[in-house]
Structure 1
């Protein structure tokens, strides 16, 4: 045997992450069902060095083994509709039904498919015995058939006769070439459009640099601008914005606009002085009452008095003006009155002067400002003139108030003063001043603003260009053609990998063509162990055909000292032969340092207890004691075998160091029409007795009140489970011989009502004994629940045993709901 270099990078199976569709498994998620500690996220109960599965028949053990065997055979049976699963490896990679060929670590799976493919004669005696061959053996027909099968798959690489993998590689290369050329053509077309727009022709951005601002513009600049235009922040320019930017580009630098005349009118001061005048009252006892009462008459007499200052006769009627009348008029129009009227006259004159002042003649020429401000300035100018006119009206209203006071000097006037528009005028002037300052600032920033305007117009131009060539669709087409290359390249890589794999396997198979006797010796060495089957052996038989001689194999049975071809092999013999063959087959992989993964599915079918232990011994000796595997998986439906598996050797020497291998245990449970995988409960993983299991079923019924789709099987199986549990438990309690079981139950219950009631439930629901219609109706859940509680309460009388049973279910008695209140059971 040639020495194979030891694999340094060991691949392990971490978990079967998902089984969405495979056999009886549907929508199974490892992380959901195998969380090792719900309080810790991302912590799951994953595969270890040794992994043990327990599950009843038809629970899904073989389905799991077929998923794993697909890693070995690189194929799945077409009988599975839409298989869908994911296997997570220790290197983080995922293996699914679509990439089985990428799994390269040595793996060996023993299950029913292995037996059918390698030992077909076991199921069909008419099948040619040459079908039974081993990879340990030499020049046998199965290896030759496999080599020819591989060569057929590889095919020919001759130009006119290409076939198989070589033809697929040739066709895939052509596909890649066509898709690549299509991608390149689309990319070239887009590149030409972009190059033309950037630098070529009268419509290019480079030739319109006065408007777009880039005389050295090229395709790289255009691609950078395209990324800006395609960003979510970009907004297309409006017609107004375009006109504004174009005006900025054409703008020439202006001188600073003239300063505006200042607005100095103090309207509030006028209001205060006017208010004082209006509140001033002149008069006294020497006033002429008639004139006091009539302001118009008073004003007329006052003018007349001034005109007749040096006259003694009335100029109007020529009547004499007596000295007394003159005295009365002088007293009426005294100095106080004159002072008030002078104040009124001064106030009116001041206001009239203000109406002609520069503060109310402020104006400006918008042509002194940059064009972009003309629209705003025109509006401000109109508003300014309107507001100044309103302020003039307010001043004229003050004049009217003073004139009214002049006519009524003897009366305090209450007036509604006009609105002061000074704040509005000042606000408008501030806006105009701000624009003036902006224009002054623009003189120094005009070049910058023109560059910004050109950039904005260029991006807007590019935006419309992209719309015109349907740029988004073009780039999408290019991306799609590029994406089409990747899967084709991956398929080509897979084909190349497959070609290499086939070539390597052909060489490996050819290297394994050795003597037939060596193969038989390995298998017989295991099969004919003292505790195995000394009467069966594998023997090479030489046959002669027309053109050549070949070696076939047959199973022979030793009978009366003579070996003859074995017929009518029992199921146990078939199981024993098959497993011995498997062990012999994997020895080469173990001894060569490949450290394979080994999966063994229920190898003890139809074997008696001695041979069940023999199978365990073989696994422990040939696989576990040597410790040359990377992972070991074993499944079983047999509780005795499960008990033995707990003794498997876990102490090995690896890399010259002692190592304790880790063990994980799992329960495969069928729930209606689908199965799930769970961490094996303590009562199975640590105790593995039917007694613990039966107690768990009864305890579950005792704490469950409602029948659901998830727990109905517990209630439907309750009668069988309860009957078996009571028989075991009562026998432990009273091992004395009783002729009838009822006598033992009477002693056990010590209560006739309990014995009869529970016995009826156990018998009728278990056997429909004496009540045929029982099998035609549904069960009574409350009745099952009450019986379960009664049994539990009976067991609780032995506190230590009850506590131990709870511990085997991983339940603390402090959290036991049945310990809160307990009915008397008698």
Structure 2
């Protein structure tokens, strides 16, 4: 069961703007703020164009699940029982039976009223014949379907609830796991301080997003071909991204020594043997002596005495020495010297200066390794050259001997390879300078992917993903099971509808409408007839209005209202009879009806709706005080004594009364004053206006109408009041007023105020002046004091306008 408590808020809906129920309908009870909410029966009174139909359209949206497009950005909120609310965007969630009678209902269902070329939409009602088999079948289907009452579901509805619960649980668990993983990914991508987005100088993308992480980078690092960076690679890339552009390093020198040729030459020298004929044997056998004598020969070329011992040197001895140191020996000596000098020069050239700092830092590790290796090879090559020099020096000392030779190691080829490797690095340096920005981007990409790879490894991404996929796999079977139950529910509902259609008839609906319409107090001449229209595919039945058996045209407004309301009552009759307890809202059903038919409409509501009390709530709005008077007599509505009795708590009342007021272009809803809700006479209304005029402290925009309308209010009040005292037509106006006032001065003064301000004809200049408020207030106070002479009547009038005696500033002190 659902009960509407209040329309909590209305914005931009017709004439309602920024309406707040709790602000307009709050009241004090036992010094505690309470809210005047809807009850079982709710009556609205408001003049035409005050907003009654707008309210009905809000409630009808619960029935149609639709709001007219003519409203721009409409908003409303309806409070229901059990702390539930319905907003304009949640209409589909309201499933309780509700029926609204208003102009939209008439336009949609009774098009004939607005266009006599159209017919009336048909509907079917339950037949009264014996259809027990069909009813038994419907009951069996309903038993299988079960009930969808909240927290008390049975049958298919219970199965759907359980499957939906299981599905929601599985979906939520999967969603939570996905959210947990997405949060980790989001933190890594953008949120945390060490996220990829916040380090564009290292990872190269200041617009990095979780989408790029999930759709681009993660798939790359999960490929089997991806290899993460080792320590050296990471260091190299980190250095590269910080690198500034450098000039090309100096060209690396080449190693051109043909060391094998030198070894061959040294070997030849060592194997050279000078002829021993004419040689001095002692010198041949003693190399040091031979060298000493050879050097002495240069100092004795033009002497014949020895510079050392002063002995004479014979010609024979000189000839022997010349033969010993002949041209062949000299040539060999020169060759040895030349070879030694060559080796010394090459040794001096075996230094290669590689400036590692001239290269980009990412090349430094490899360059330092090559430089160390090159230095070692050059040193080894120098040592080999020293060994050759030592062989040649020994040959110098043993010029006439053949010396054994063991060639030293040759490192020249290895040196050339190292130099080529260094040169290759130099070329890479030059190439990197040309493509430095591109290389930096590549380096950042590598570093970012390596970051992603290690991050996925740290959070155990593969296992988390597998767990989510496993959870996802449990959802489709649950969805399929739920779908099967929903299909079964829909199948049963369709079958129930088909069975129910066997019990219903459009013609019976016509009979019901005609039964209401042709009541003795209704309209005997009008009737509805079910008419089948031609359609090759479907059976289409419409209702046609007839007057005295002939299709009716040019219906009066009163006839239209009568037919429309009878149609509405017949349409809701099944729900009332089948104890579905619908909510019913009736908006001003007595438009253009005479007094007899107004009472007839009231009687229909009483008989068809209120008598058996099979409705959840009833709402009726009207612009007619006459109809409002009848509505106070509805079965189930609070009696007059209960309305005025403040000892009864508001929540214990059965009915509520509301006044819809329009101020300029904005309407509001207020609690109906007692003079309308309890008494419903113009006499009470006029008394309240005069009382307010007499007690107002200052005139402003909120109450100026009291003074502008005072002349009419006072004149009409006095006419009614004095007529009760002097009902004979023989009394003239002046005589009646004199009898009422008992003072000629009062008669003339008050009559002037009342007549001149209610009739400007003859005193036209009065209409050109501002109202004299003090003069009117004096007149209003005089009327109140005169009424107070019958204190019991005065007390009753105060009660009718909801004024407590202690709160009455004009109340006689002597009473």
Residues 24 and 819 (structure 1 numbering): CA distance in 2 closer, same or farther, change over 3 Å?
same
- What is the rounded CA distance, in whole Å, between the counterparts of 2:790 and 2:731 in structure 1? 26
Q: Which residue of 603, 620, 626 corresponds with 2:589?
A: 603
2:49 aligned with 1:58, yes or no? yes
Structure 1 position 742, deviation (Å):
3.9
Distance 1:80 1:72, change over 3 A: same
> Residue 74 of structure 1 contacts residue 100 of structure 1 at CA under 8 Å; is this kept in 2?
yes
Preserved CA contact (<8 Å) 1:50 1:661: no
Q: 2:183 is matched with which residue?
A: 187
1:535 is aligned to 525
Q: Distance in 1 between matches of 2:75 and 2:60?
A: 15
Per-residue deviation, 1:556: 1.0
Alignment map for 1:614-633 (pairs within 5 Å): 614-633=600-619
* Cα distance in 2 between the residues matched to 1:63 and 1:764: 39
Query: 1:31 aligned to 2:44?
Result: no
Match of 2:574 among 581, 588, 592: 588
Q: CA shift at 1:521, angstroms?
A: 0.7
SS of match in other structure, 1:817: coil
User: Of the candidates 116, 119, 132, which is equivalent to residue 110 of structure 2?
Assistant: 119
> Is the Cα–Cα contact under 8 Å of residues 527 and 546 in structure 2 kept in the other structure?
yes
SS of the residue aligned with 2:35?
coil
Residue number in structure 2 paired with 1:246: none
Count of equivalent residues: 467
2:122 paired with 1:133: yes
Aligned alpha-carbon RMSD (Å):
3.8
In 2, Cα distance between equivalents of 1:746 and 1:699 = 22
Q: 1:544 to 1:818 in 2, by over 3 A?
A: same
Q: TM-score, normalised by structure 1?
A: 0.52
Q: Deviations over 1:200-231 (max 9, x none)?
A: xxxxxxxxxxxxxxxxxxxxxxxxxxxxxxxx
SS of the equivalent of 2:79 reads strand
Among 613, 623, 641, the residue aligned to 2:627: 641
Closer, same or farther in 2 for the Cα pair 1:580/1:641, shift >3 Å?
Answer: same
Q: Select the residue among 707, 719, 742 that pairs with 1:750.
A: 742
Contact 1:650–1:661 (Cα < 8 Å) also in 2: no
Deviation, structure 1 residue 610: 1.6
1:692 paired residue among 678, 684, 687: 684
CA distance in 2 between partners of 1:566 and 1:586 (Å): 25
- TM-fit CA distance, 1:20: 3.0
Aligned mates of 1:719, 1:57 — CA distance in 2 = 24
Seen in structure 2, the aligned counterparts of structure 1 residues 704 and 638 have a Cα distance that, compared at 3 Å, is same
**How far off is 1:39 after superposition?**
5.0
- 2:810 is paired with a residue whose SS is helix
**Is the Cα contact below 8 Å between 1:137 and 1:517 reproduced in 2?**
no
TM-score by length of 2: 0.52
Return the alpha-carbon distance in structure 1 between the equivalents of residues 699 and 653 of structure 2. 42
Once the two structures are superposed, residues 501-537 of structure 1 have per-residue CA deviations (whole angstroms, 9 ceiling, x without a partner) of: 9999988876558433111011111111111111111
Aligned counterpart for 1:85 among listed residues 49, 68, 76:
76
Structure 1 residue 644: Cα displacement: 1.6
Which whole-Å CA distance do the structure 1 matches of 2:694 and 2:490 have between them? 60
Q: 2:804 aligns with which of 802, 809, 812?
A: 812
Q: Which has the larger radius of gyration?
A: 2
Tell me the secondary structure at the aligned position of residue 687 of structure 2. Answer: helix
2:204 counterpart residue number: none
Contact 1:137–1:516 at 8 Å: present in 2 too? no
Residues 592-625 of structure 1: CA distance to partner in whole angstroms, max 9, x if unpaired?
Answer: 2211100111111121222111111111111111
Does 2:571 align with 1:575?
no
Q: Verify the 8 A CA contact 1:706 1:781 in the aligned structure 2.
A: no
Q: Which runs of 5+ in 1 are unaligned?
A: 1-9, 139-175, 199-464, 470-491, 653-659
Cα offset, 1:717, TM superposition = 2.3
Which residue of structure 2 aligns with residue 7 of structure 1? none
Task: Give 2:89's match in structure 1, choosing from 95, 98, 101.
Answer: 98
Give the match's secondary structure for 2:26. coil
The CA deviation at 1:540 is 2.0
Bigger drift between 537-546 and 83-92 goes to 537-546
Equivalent-residue separation in structure 2 for 1:499 and 1:677 (angstroms): 45
Q: Secondary structure at the match of 2:34?
A: coil
Residues 567 and 781 of structure 1: CA distance in aligned 2, closer, same or farther (over 3 Å)? same
1:292 match = none
- CA distance, structure 2, for counterparts of residue 85 and residue 691 of structure 1: 37
What corresponds to 1:557 in structure 2? 547
What residue number does 2:774 align with?
782
Q: Give the C-alpha shift of residue 40 in structure 1.
A: 4.7
Q: Secondary structure at the match of 2:8?
A: strand
1:519 is aligned to 2:515: no
Write the distance in 1 (CA, Å) between the matches of 2:806 and 2:622.
Answer: 34
- Determine if the alignment matches structure 1 residue 735 to structure 2 residue 731: no
Tell which deviates more after alignment, 716-725 or 576-585: 716-725
Cα distance, 1:807 vs structure 2:
1.6
**Structure 2 partner of 1:223:** none
Q: Secondary structure at the match of 1:794?
A: helix
Deviation per CA, 1:224-254, whole angstroms, max 9, x where unpaired? xxxxxxxxxxxxxxxxxxxxxxxxxxxxxxx
Match of 1:669 in 2: 661
Aligned to 2:295: none
1:753-773: CA deviations, max 9, x gaps? 333333333333223222334
Residue equivalent to 2:674: 682
1:326-349 alpha-carbon deviations (Å, 9 max, x no partner):
xxxxxxxxxxxxxxxxxxxxxxxx
